[in-house]
Structure 1
Amino acid sequence: MNFTETEQKIINELSKTLDSIDPEEIKALIEQIKKADRVFFVGVGRVLLSLKSIAKRLAHLGIDTVIVGEITEPAITENDLLIVGSGSGESAFPLAIAKKAKSFDATVAHIGSNPNSSMQDITDYFIRIPVQTKLNLPNEIASVQPMTSLFEQSLLLLGDTIALILIEDEKIDMSQLWEYHANLE
């Protein structure tokens, strides 16, 4: 197999996946992001890497973002939003953090593949990326990629899509975004 054929398979999977996400779920998440004092993010592994990229991009838009577990993490309150990234919705650490956030009356949104996960009883909002998970559930978009690569990639692109929607909704001048970019580089 060659590069062009392989990358086209990945792009086709991503396009099919992003087209399968419910725009109303995204609209509700964006409203919660706008409303929150701070937006916290929790996930593990490669999902966490995608979430960190999303948090950084939203920080570039002037949104106060926090990665759970970082040394400068403040207390979560009822005015905050926790975004949980977990394809299966069964990962132990994100599940425990979501429960803890709810105990402080924070709003919790879960971005995942499994609508019937343990997370469903905890979260206020669910955004489904309907891709193949480690659970191999029915109605998941299959992938030729290893493990849950399609979920992590889709999550990252979803985050950039949300950022662009926020830029357009809030009429943000993109040339002004550099004021929020790291300058100790």
Structure 2
Amino acid sequence: MKRGSIVNIFFKKLQKQQDKLSRLEQQVLAYIIDHPEEIAKSRIDDVAKKIYVSTATISRTSKALGYSGFQELKYTLIHHLEEEQHTTYEPSQNFTQLTTRIQNEMSKTLQAIQPEKLELGARLLANSQRVEFFGVGSSYTCCFEAARKLTFAGRISSAREDWDELRIVANHLTSDDVAILVSYSGETILPLEYVAILKERNVPIIAVVGSKNSPLEKSATLVFHVNVSNGYYGNIDMSSRIPMHLVLELLILHYIETYVEI
């Protein structure tokens, strides 16, 4: 079956881990790449019987590829297969095409924002001792800018780039604080690890995500969905983060207008 760039890029990332795998684990990986639709519908026992390995081997393979287990690997695969069906734009130097795409993303994002959610988000910020932003990769820039603005508004706020530092911070936040997680997919491993820690510590979580029904939003106190079109130039992810900046900007402005005396 012919596959698109999104799934192929996902498989290329998995293949980069191939040298770490044993012969049997490489066999499991090869089967996953050759039969993605079947894997998406199968239980671990079914896959084990198909390729004549143990379920433990499949679990070890999943962990060696960077996942907590087969279920997380399968969910990520399903997500990428679903994303392949969504609208994908080809990056263009044509100014009109570029501005039209961005305007559509902004318009759809604004339409999805509910005033009561902005009010709840502003109230969470106002009642917090401190606000910590969690975003990795391209999402970090959104977090850095938002944290800077909140700091100038008088709210103790930080956005940290180091992954280990984010993990330590998550383990020290309390129910008196607020965590804001920004993620395009809502299923990236590190943010999910942080959100699991935060949830266990009863920290209120505001999530800004580009995909619906993701594991991240299921653990969040408040969710803002943004509309982002998948865009790749070769293997480079050119998807915009402008809608995420927009949502954070509106949230902070609502907080300032409602709770800050200037």
TM bucket normalised to smaller: 0.7 to 0.9
Match of 1:17 among 105, 108, 111: 108
Is it true that 1:132 corresponds to 2:221 in the alignment? no
* CA deviations over 1:138-162 (Å, ceiling 9, x no partner): xxxxx79974633x11111222222
CA RMSD of aligned residues (A): 2.8
Structure 1 portions without partners, runs of 5+: 134-142, 174-185
C-alpha displacement of 1:121: 3.4
CA contact (8 A) 1:38 1:80 kept: yes
C-alpha displacement of 1:10: 4.6
* CA deviations over 1:23-56 (Å, ceiling 9, x no partner): 2322222221111111111111111111111111
Q: 1:94 aligns to what?
A: 191
Report the AA paired with residue 114 of structure 1: S
CA distance in 1, matches of 2:146, 2:132: 11
Pairs within 5 Å for 1:28-107: 28-68=120-160, 75-107=172-204
Report the AA paired with residue 35 of structure 1: N
Structure 2 portions without partners, runs of 5+: 1-91
Q: What is the aligned residue count? A: 163
CA distance in 2, matches of 1:94, 1:45: 11
Greater CA radius of gyration, 1 or 2? Answer: 2
Shift of the 69–76 alpha-carbon distance from structure 1 to 2, 3 Å rule, reads farther
Shift of the 62–123 alpha-carbon distance from structure 1 to 2, 3 Å rule, reads same
C-alpha displacement of 1:64: 0.9
CA contact (8 A) 2:192 2:216 kept: yes
CA contact (8 A) 1:132 1:148 kept: no
Superposition TM-score, scaled by structure 2 size: 0.54
Superposition TM-score, scaled by structure 1 size: 0.74
CA contact (8 A) 1:113 1:132 kept: no
Query: SS at 1:66's partner residue?
Result: strand
Pairs within 5 Å for 1:139-178: 147=237, 149-150=239-240, 152-170=241-259, 172-173=261-262
Query: SS at 2:112's partner residue?
Result: coil
CA distance in 2, matches of 1:26, 1:148: 28
Shift of the 47–20 alpha-carbon distance from structure 1 to 2, 3 Å rule, reads same
CA contact (8 A) 2:124 2:178 kept: yes
